[in-house]
Homo-oligomer: A and B are copies of this chain.
Amino acid sequence: MAGTPPRSPLAPEQFPDLPIIDGVSFAAAQAGVKYSGRADVMLAQICAGSTIAGVFTKSATRSAPVLDCQAKLGIISDAGAAIIVNSGNANAFTGKNGTDVTRAVTSSVASALGLPDDRVFSSSTGVIGESLPHEKITRKIEELKLALSPTAIKAAAEAIMTTDTFSKGASAQITIDGKTVSIAGIAKGSGMIAPDMATMLVYIFTDAKIAQPDLQAMLSELNEVTFNSITVDSDTSTSDSLLLAATGTSDVDVAGNGAFREALHGVMKDLALQVVRDGEGATKLIEIQVTGAANDSDARIHGLSIANSPLVKTAVAGEDPNWGRVVMAIGKSGAAADRDLLNIRFGDIVVAEKGWVSPDYNEELGATYMKQSELVIGVDLGLGTGKSTVWTCDLTHGYITINADYRS
């Protein structure tokens, strides 16, 4: 790499204070998988009786650790659990070797912590197509075990970074029946993927009590409106993984609890938007609100078509209120649209209505709005009640510089 991009202008000021989750401890270490002078492996230990849910990339070429996690999640167990993650090497597209390496790392953790093999989950992020030097990780496991601490979550968030320009964390605490339930999560990701390097990894922990099938159902549903509703460059990683562990240590059962669901939704949305804010080269965070579609699925297709359009994203980068490109992206999406019913707004400014520019629209107002660093593009299709919100960032010279100019 010829250099490191500066901290995103959309980054939060600092890593937040995250609550301790009773029953979970963390450690980070410098294994030297690829980077030197920084931590590149993290371990999380989760107490016995916890339930674990997960969602993963739908890529047909997903990595060995992803396939391993998916297989293990199917096994319901009361044993404790662990998550081990390395940055620097994705262990993706590495043939049978990838499976062997994943097994070596997870078995080694299982043996050190006295866990069954199928309760150790792993992720790897970084270069694709190179064998992961797993001994560099396994020889650090004793060191990691000794360092495990309930307060080390920030170090864990830093160890999993690749092209990220800031570490990402979010939390929530709510009171249910007079007891406090806490949620804390960390994430990494900036481009959807780049072998050199980036992918999206998310780990969320809570002391709530909830059966695995209920936890999985809640996670899958909330994932659709958070991590599955963001896009930086339309490119999908071979390694995207989200694991959610519920220890039950608060002794508050949250199955069917709306307040808990909302709190978890908030943490997931916060982390998802931090990933977009760290989008490669991003200078603007864009929220696309689609309403009036024939159904929710059509609304989502339109939203992603706008969010992934290079011409929309470059217009935003150029602070150009170019609503014609929004019309184009709706037209090409394949979902139902009637040109003469379309309404488009930038923030609260109505730009186009009933298929033509609004008589009240003033190009100067639009241009002023586009100077903001956080923008809303609203589209109403006038066809039905379908709606969807997606988030993306702009497409800038910075993206080209990161992905074309730095040679691996």
Contacts and interface: CB of A to CB of B under 8 A. Distances in A.
B352 A404 contact: no
A309 interface: yes
Contacts of A331: 57, 59-62, 236, 238
B320 A61 contact: no
Contacts of A93: 324, 327, 339, 342, 352, 355-356
**Which has the most chain B C-beta neighbours within 10 Å: A59, A192, A405?**
A59
A77 interface: no
A328 B236 contact: yes
Contacts of A406: 318
Contacts of A400: 314, 317, 395-397, 399-400
A327 B238 CA distance: 9
A315 B194 CA distance: 10
Interface residues of A, number: 75
B337 A60 contact: yes
Contacts of A192: 311
A407 interface: yes
A331 B401 CA distance: 25
Contact of A342 (B61, B338, B407): B61
Interface string A92-134: 1111110000000000000000000000000000011110000
B95 A129 contact: no
Contacts of A330: 60-61
A328 B334 CA distance: 24
Given A93-B324, A336-B60, A357-B129, A403 B311 contact: yes
B310 A233 contact: yes
A251 interface: no
Contact of A314 (B311, B333, B404): B404
Interface in A350-383: 352, 354-357
Contacts of A357: 129-130
Contacts of A234: 308-310
Given A233-B310, A236-B332, A332-B235, A194 B396 contact: no
A318 B309 CA distance: 22
19 contacts: A58-B332, A59-B332, A60-B338, A60-B339, A61-B330, A61-B342, A62-B339, A93-B352, A129-B323, A192-B311, A196-B322, A310-B403, A314-B400, A318-B406, A320-B407, A320-B408, A394-B404, A395-B400, A396-B404
